[in-house]
Amino acid sequence: MAATLTKLLEESATRWPSRVALGDSSGDRALTYRHLGDLAGDAAAQLRRNGIADGAPVAIVSDTCVEYAVALFAVLAAGGCAAPLNPGLAAPQLIARLADVRARAVVVPRHLHDDFAGAHAGVELPVWQLAVTPGRGSRLSAAPVPVSGQGAARPGGPDPDLSDAAILMLTSGTTAAPKVVPLTHANLLASIDGIRGSYRLTPEDATLLVMPLFHGHGLLAGLLSTLASGGAAFMPAGGQFHAGRFWPEMAVARATWYTAVPTIHQILLARAGSEYPSKGYPELRFVRSCSAPLAPAVQRDLESAFSAPVVQAYGMTETTHQAASNPLPGDGPDKTASVGVPTGAQIQVTRPDGKPAGDGETGELWIRGATVTAGYLGNPQATAESFSAGWFHTGDLGRTDADGYLFLTGRIKEIINRGGEKISPAAVDEVLQSNPGVEDALSFPVPDSKYGEDIQAAVVLRRGRAVSEAELKGYCGSRLSAFEVPKRIFFLDHLPRTEKGTGDRRQLAALLGANRTP
């Protein structure tokens, strides 16, 4: 295993100098591993001349594009620490996140620079725009151009080691305000190794980067694991997933796999009848799903529609993305409802008294190992609440079977207490999503004068389907306990999502409240 992420890229450039590392959906702009290494080195020298060294945090405010990858490796090669941020953040949010990660500078790809400068004029930091454009012959050049602020030039420090923070990631904030997670080179390399091994990634593989790179799912599973394996990672047009362009872009990439959240899988599945290409498309080796539970019914439909195995994985920002995954066919049993077995980390189902639970017994998941961060940046209280004796207390509930396969059952902070009866919203979501007329579903808590809390839900129906609230309640009643059946079910055109694409229960509860009619 490489000593740092910078060394990882150097080793890949040495092993596969002429293979395509990065491409875009047009097929006109491709970077070989040698080009990517040269570009990152060129940009790193310019960043060092502008004062980036000694672990200085540099925010990368970018969509999914070639410039993002160049900026990431350039910041690391310069001796800095990269902090990927969502370019869609409003100005107050962005300024708050820049303060959270203690950014010393910002890098923005040139195609986003004008919008960034106009919307975020209050950013009082050096800002560089990065452009990757065709240069002389087949060479490409990267040129960060100072547009505001001044960096104090100083020489670069010593090469980082495994224990140094390389990337600062923000948690998704589904149950609390986002926290900053410092991921070391050791954390990142261990996670990459686990992902690469889980799916047997090789130089013959290619993927379309569906998930945003400012979260661990897209960054670790999509980009970095591909670059570690010698494969090719392709950028979507417009810098983000678009359902109508997905299959043509997959064909350009000749993608052998992709990874996404269940929401995206469901969108693609709903459009498969008219958009999935029947001819001329390379066979998918597998499809990966992570970051939220995938309903078994949806998984079976995906496998049927795309003629490929669908493997679920589990992880969190604090575990450097992947902590567990189902194996590929032939590598282990096929357990559709499971998120698999640990991949480089130890996972313990823990009773309330802190002792390990037995097989089949539900408890909180504790995780420790090489992929687990030591704590949150600048937040000792949150660190003390979530970490102890090397264990990360995930807040997720689950159980294991006799084969060591992990089954998620919900989150502690999301559990709804209805007059003493405990309800897992995730379990209710799964039942609703299994209804043939439902494309997507999300349940949420509401205050109740009698029970303290109760459960409601919202659904998005499949095109051309008509299902009433009474029918859905009856469907739930045949599969859930009476107290778990949503008190009300709303019908929406779409459900609110976090930046990562997972269902946002807090926002849904705020939108619908307790006074709306179905």
Query: Could you report the average pLDDT of every consecutive run of 10 residues in the chain (518 residues)?
Result: 87 96 83 94 90 92 96 95 93 91 94 86 86 61 61 47 88 73 97 97 97 96 98 96 94 95 90 81 90 88 94 96 96 91 95 94 96 96 95 95 93 84 88 93 89 92 92 93 92 87 86 59
pTM summary value = 0.85
User: What is the pLDDT, as a whole number, of residue 152?
Assistant: 39
How far apart are the C-alpha atoms of 4 and 76, rounded to whole Å? 9
DSSP run (H or E) holding 91: helix 91-100
User: What is the pLDDT, as a whole number, of residue 147?
Assistant: 54
Tokens of 313: 């994985």
**Spatial contact of 168 and 57, defined as CB atoms under 8 Å apart:** yes
Walk across the sheet containing 30-32 and list its strands: 30-32, 20-24, 232-235, 206-208, 257-260, 286-289, 310-316, 321-325, 341-342
Tokens of 494: 């779409």
Three-point CA angle 192, 198, 201, nearest 5° = 70
The set of long-range contacts for 110-117, using a CB threshold of 8 Å and a minimum separation of 24, is: 110/67, 111/65, 111/67, 112/61, 112/62, 112/63, 112/87, 113/147, 116/61, 116/87, 117/147, 117/148
From the list 379, 317, 393, 316, the residue with the least C-alpha distance to 348 is: 393
